[in-house]
Structure 1
Amino acid sequence: MQVNVLFFARLKEQLGCSSLSLELAEGSNTTQLKAELVSKGEQWTILEESSVLMAVNQQHISDVKSLANGDEVAFFPPVTGG
């Protein structure tokens, strides 16, 4: 199955990309997706920081979520406003 992954703010800058398409095994979840990305190299370990947030199809998640073909997964740092 294919998922679209987006990176925002400092994550985009540190990883050197704003998005990518990734092929995952059927039945994969967000934990497996993150592990796949982290396996790409040392710079990708930033995704393991506890402050990094994740959304699936524009809905913030705080736990493991199953993924489906065509899902959009976004990684972003905490958002503050003023």
Structure 2
Amino acid sequence: VWDLRESKKPLHVFEELPNHYSQTNVEFSPDEQLIFTGTSIEKDGNTGSMLCFYDTKRLELVSKVGISPTCSIVRCAWHSRLNQ
């Protein structure tokens, strides 16, 4: 996470987010209280892809949701009217 006013170093680096695709995005919830992104499956691991949610103020993990044991998450979006 970067602060555009101070671009010399990031505000925070989220570790342990396996990612094999440069197109993988990060999004905000409609109320901007959460940051979320998806992970890639790990080739040698037993962990499938996860959707990970972080609190924007504390920059801490709030929740992880398992999505698929065989497919990576590359793009994600939060529909503001459906709130999901």
Tell me the TM-score range normalised by the shorter chain. 0.3 to 0.5
Larger Rg: 2
- TM-score by length of structure 2 reads 0.33
